[in-house]
Amino acid sequence: MRNFAYARASSLDDARHLAARPGAMLIAGGTTLLDLAKCGVAEPEQVIDITHLKGFDVIRVTPDGASIGALAKMSHVADDAAIRAGFPAVSEALWQAASAQLRNMATIGGNLMQRTRCAYFRDPATFPACNKRNPGSGCSAIGGITRNHAVLGASESCIATNPGDLAVALVALDAIVQLGERQVPVDEFFLLPGATPEREHALQAGEMITAVSIPASAVAKCSTYLKVRDRQSYEFAAASAAVGIEFEADGKTIRDLRVALGGVATKPWRAREVEKVLKGKALEPEAVKRASRLAMEGAIAHGANHYKIELAPRVITRAILKVGGIA
């Protein structure tokens, strides 16, 4: 880890001003930045401490929706009674992320800014070729060990999977990322790699996440997050799904449906074709199974990650049937 300067931001404007300097990076919970610094990926010239900023850890839930401050701890949000009642997929996604110790330290803003767990990205000494770290150097993952890599949203420059759980739930529920003067839909906040995989988020110089807003809705209230992984805890998703359903008065016909996927794409992935096909239809297992396969349209396997193309539709199906009260 290289030496770096330290500064404590006294206000939001101060934090933005300091963060705009070349080589500056923000730190709150520190669970991502310190990890990246230890493995030689992040080499900040100055670390800007924002943990003392007042009012940015507040969780507010009103009839219109939820506002979650960027400095709110993951565990506090997951355990908030109003979040659990009105946005269960958010609470469930947070409880299934990381470990208890990390959830008690990590912040919501930091969670959204976490970077890929691609082993090639995180080992610069062994794998110098990584377009996320060194644009134009190549992608060591392509042709390598790819079991945990993306089958959706990849490009010739990068096949790294987005590691988020919370972000998947937020994409399903049409959340908004508050950047102070700008508001960005969370689905647009995360960027596809294309030819510029080093750009993972829509943040501009001098910006920072201040809060996340989630509109209240029937689908948000009747939602869930299902995560399939190699072990029960402290593991990233092989495939996950955040699902919310609103039924017609008959309790069977789907009025509205939201589906987002994690663990299979280069960004949290909204499965809009699945939603489109099932809206207006009765909730029936076979119809759900058929529709869930549409989420994998355009999927491309790279060797060992081919199983995700079969696994992801099964996870979607199970999540939809679970929240619909069938499974």
Is 265 contained in some domain?
yes
pLDDT of the residue at 2: 78
Q: Are 190 and 237 in contact (CB under 8 A)?
A: no
Beta carbons within 8 Å of 314's beta carbon, 6+ residues apart = 292
Note whether 247 and 186 are same-domain residues: yes
CATH (domain of 16) = 3.30.43
- pLDDT tens digits, one per residue of 155-188: 999 999 999 999 999 999 999 999 999 999 999 9
pLDDT of the residue at 234: 83
Note whether 17 and 110 are same-domain residues: no
Q: Are 69 and 51 in contact (CB under 8 A)?
A: no
pLDDT of the residue at 1: 64
Note whether 257 and 178 are same-domain residues: yes
- pLDDT tens digits, one per residue of 256-288: 999 999 999 999 999 999 999 999 999 999 999
Note whether 205 and 242 are same-domain residues: yes
Note whether 267 and 298 are same-domain residues: yes
Note whether 90 and 235 are same-domain residues: yes
Count of structural domains within the chain: 2
In our burial notation (b when 16+ CB lie closer than 10 A, e otherwise), range 152-186 reads bbbbebbbbbbbbbbbbbbbbbbbbbbbeeeebeb
| Residue carrying the six token digits 């207006």 | 280
Distance separating alpha carbons of residues 154 and 230, to the nearest angstrom = 23
Note whether 63 and 106 are same-domain residues: yes
Average pLDDT value for the chain: 96
DSSP secondary structure letter of residue 265: B
CATH (domain of 280) = 3.30.390.50
Is 146 contained in some domain?
no
Domain range spanning residue 24?
Answer: 5-49
Is 190 contained in some domain?
yes
Residue 59 has pLDDT above 90, yes or no: yes
**pLDDT level of residue 232 (50, 70, 90 thresholds):** confident
Ranges 74-78, 112-116, 123-127, 204-208: which has the least confidence: 204-208
Is 220 contained in some domain?
yes
- What would the DSSP string read from start to end of 84-107? HHH-HHHHHHHHTSS-HHHHHH-B
Task: Spell out where the chain has E strands.
Answer: 5-8, 24-27, 46-49, 59-62, 65-69, 176-178, 183-185, 211-215, 223-228, 239-247, 254-262, 269-270
Beta carbons within 8 Å of 31's beta carbon, 6+ residues apart = 98, 102, 105, 106, 110
Which candidate, 137, 105, 140, 98, places its Cα nearest to that of 122?
140
Is 290 contained in some domain?
yes
**pLDDT above 70 covers what percent of the chain?**
99
Distance separating alpha carbons of residues 242 and 90, to the nearest angstrom = 9
Distance separating alpha carbons of residues 109 and 164, to the nearest angstrom = 12
Task: Retrieve residue 174's tokens.
Answer: 């049409």
Which candidate, 54, 106, 111, 69, places its Cα nearest to that of 211?
69
Is 136 contained in some domain?
no
Strand 5-8 with 46-49, pairing:
parallel
Arithmetic mean of pLDDT, 146-153? 98
pTM (2 d.p.): 0.97
pLDDT of the residue at 164: 97
Which candidate, 262, 279, 285, 253, places its Cα nearest to that of 92?
262
Note whether 86 and 21 are same-domain residues: no
